[in-house]
Amino acid sequence: MHAMNSRALLAIVTMLVAVLMAPSGIAQAQTKASSTVDCAALADMKIENTNLLSAGLVPAKDGLPEYCRVLGYVRPAINFEIRLPAQGWNGKFYMAGCGGFCGTLNSDRPGQINAMNHGLARKYAVSTMDGGHWGASTSDGRWGFDNPVARADWGYRAVTETARVSKLAIDAFYKAAPTQSYFHGCSNGGRQAQMEASRFPDDFDGIISGAPSLDLTGGAGALFPWLTQADTGRDGKPIFSPSKRKLVEDAVAKACAGPDGLIEDPRTCRFKPASLKCKARDGSDCLTAAEVGVLEKWYGGPKSRTGKQLYPGGTPLGSEPFWPAWLLGNGTLPGAVMIFAREYVRYLAFVHAPGETYQVSEYRLDRDLPKARELSSTYDSASPDLSKFKEKGRKLLMYQGWADAIVTPFRTVDYYEAVEKAMGGQPATEAFFRLFMVPGMDHCGLSNAGTGIDQRGFDPLIALEQWVEQRTPPASLLATKSDKNGKALWTRPLCPYPQVATYKGSGDRQDAANWACARPNN
C-alpha cells in the first residue's frame, strides 16, 4: 500500500513539474481539444434556409494554419465553404468571389485572385461559394438554361447569402463577431464585388474589385459576340493567323511602349493595323486585308450597322501577348472569349434561352442586344450610385489591367468617371473609392507572358486594411515584376486614376523609389 502511494505521489509530482515547466503546451492541448469539439458542433447549427453538411478540423499544411472546415449550402443550391483558424484568429472575415460562370468551390486556387487561402494564411476566417450551381468548368453555361432561380443566385444572391452564413458560423465558433469584413473578387468576382457595394452595402467594410465585368449584358452580350464574329470567316474558320500575333505585338510595342516596355495608356496609342497590310502577296511579315479587318474590329469594339458604338472600346492595344488564351486558342480549343460568347448566347443572354443548337453567328447586335439587356437587373452591377456604401463608411479599391483582352479597361474607366459624376466629383469619390489602372497587366493578372505584372505583383488587401482600419487611403500600390521563378525584376508604384506613375528623372528606373504619382500632362 505504501509502495503504491509512493508511485502515485511520484506520478503527481511529475505531472506538476510538467505543468510548471510547460504551461503553454498544456493550454494549447486544451485549446485544440476544445476546438475539435466546437468545430464539429458547427454542423448542428440551425441557420435559416441553410443546410450544413459537415464540420471538421484540417491540419496545418503548406503555410496554412489548422482550421475548422465547414461545408453546406444555402437553399436551393448555393454551395459554400468556410474555413476558421483553430488558433490565432485575427478577428476578421475575408470572402473570395468566383470567376467566369463559377460552378465549383474553387477553395484552394493558388494566388490571391478568387482565393480564400490568401486570407486564411493571415489568420482570417474565410469563405467562398460556387455561384449557386454546378458546372463542368467556369465556362459552362448550361445551368442557366431557362432557370431564373439559378440565374438570380449567380447574378446577385450567392455572395450576400454566403456572407450571412459565414458571419453566423464565425460568431458561433469564436463567440465573437468579426471586427471587419472584406471581399475580394476579380472578373465575375469583380462583378460580384460591385453588386455588393451597390445592393448590399451592409455586408463588407471593404471591397476589392478586380477587372469587374460590371456590365455583363454589354460585355458578354455585345463585346464577346463581336470579337467572335470578327474572326470568323464564311467557312466558319478563324481569319486571323495565330502565327502573326507576334508581328502585331512587336509593331504595337514599337509604336506605343515607353522605355520600360510598358504601354501606360492604350488610349494614347496611335497604332493602325493597316500599317502592317501586305503590299503584294500574303507573307509572315504582313497582314492580309481580311486580317487587318479583324484587328480593326477587335481594337475598335462593337458597333451597330450604322457605325454607332455599342460598347466602350474593345481589346486594348498592348493585349497581344495574351491573345492565345483569350482570342486565338491553342489549336485544339478556341480562345476563352469565344467559349464564353457561345455559352452566354445559348443559355444566359435571353429570358428564354435558345439552347445548345444556337450559334454565335446567328446573334445580331442590333436585334439581340436589346433583348439581352432585359436581364440587366439580374446580371449587371454598373450602377454609379454608391451613396449608401459611402454613407456607411465603406471603402472600395478597384484595379484593372490596361492589357486586359476580355474585360475591356475602357468600360472600367467609364464606370469610375460615372461614379465621380454621380457622387459629387473626384475629392468626394476618392474618399471612399479608388481605381488603380495597371499598365501591361493581363485579365486579373493571370498571365506572366507580357511586360507588366501578374497577380503575384501586388497586394491590394494590405492597402485596403490600412484604409479601413487606420483611415489611411492608398496613395499608391507597390507593384513588383517577377520572372517565372519569382525573382524580382523591377518595382514601380501603381497610382489612383487618373494619376500615372512618372519617372522623377534620376536614379534607377527599375526602383519604385524613383517614381511618383502625378496627373498626366495631356
Q: What value does the mean pLDDT take over residues 353-378?
A: 97
Q: What value does the mean pLDDT take over residues 224-240?
A: 97
Q: What value does the mean pLDDT take over residues 183-199?
A: 97
Chain mean pLDDT for the chain: 92
Confidence of residue 139 (pLDDT cuts 50, 70, 90): very high
Q: What is the pLDDT of residue 437?
A: 98
Confidence of residue 36 (pLDDT cuts 50, 70, 90): low
Give residue limits of the domains in the chain: 1-92+130-178, 219-377
Write down the pTM of the prediction.
0.92
Asked if 447 and 113 count as a contact pair (C-beta separation under 8 A), the reply is no
Q: What number of CA atoms fall less than 13 Å from residue 284's CA on the CB side?
A: 2
pLDDT at 395 over 90: yes
Cell (9 digits) for 413: 474607366
pLDDT digits (tens, 9 = 90+) for 49-65: 999 999 999 999 999 99
Q: In sequence order, what are the beta bridge partners of 436?
A: 399, 496
pLDDT digits (tens, 9 = 90+) for 298-347: 999 999 999 999 999 999 999 999 999 999 998 888 999 999 999 999 99
Q: What is the pLDDT of residue 337?
A: 97
d(CA 261, CA 264): 9
Closest CA to 180 of 375, 392, 348: 392
% of the chain exceeding 70 in pLDDT: 92
Count Cβ atoms below 10 Å from residue 488 Cβ, excluding itself. Answer: 11
Q: What is the pLDDT of residue 331?
A: 84
**Rama region for 307: left / alpha / beta (φ>0; ψ in -120 to 50; rest):** left
Q: What is the pLDDT of residue 26?
A: 29
d(CA 381, CA 396): 14
Q: What is the pLDDT of residue 113?
A: 64
Q: What is the pLDDT of residue 157?
A: 98
What order of strands is seen across the sheet that includes strand 92-96?
A: 50-58, 67-74, 78-85, 125-129, 92-96, 180-186, 206-210, 395-401, 433-438
Q: What is the pLDDT of residue 11?
A: 41
pLDDT digits (tens, 9 = 90+) for 90-119: 999 999 999 999 999 988 887 666 689 999
pLDDT digits (tens, 9 = 90+) for 317-331: 999 999 999 999 988
Q: What is the pLDDT of residue 112?
A: 64
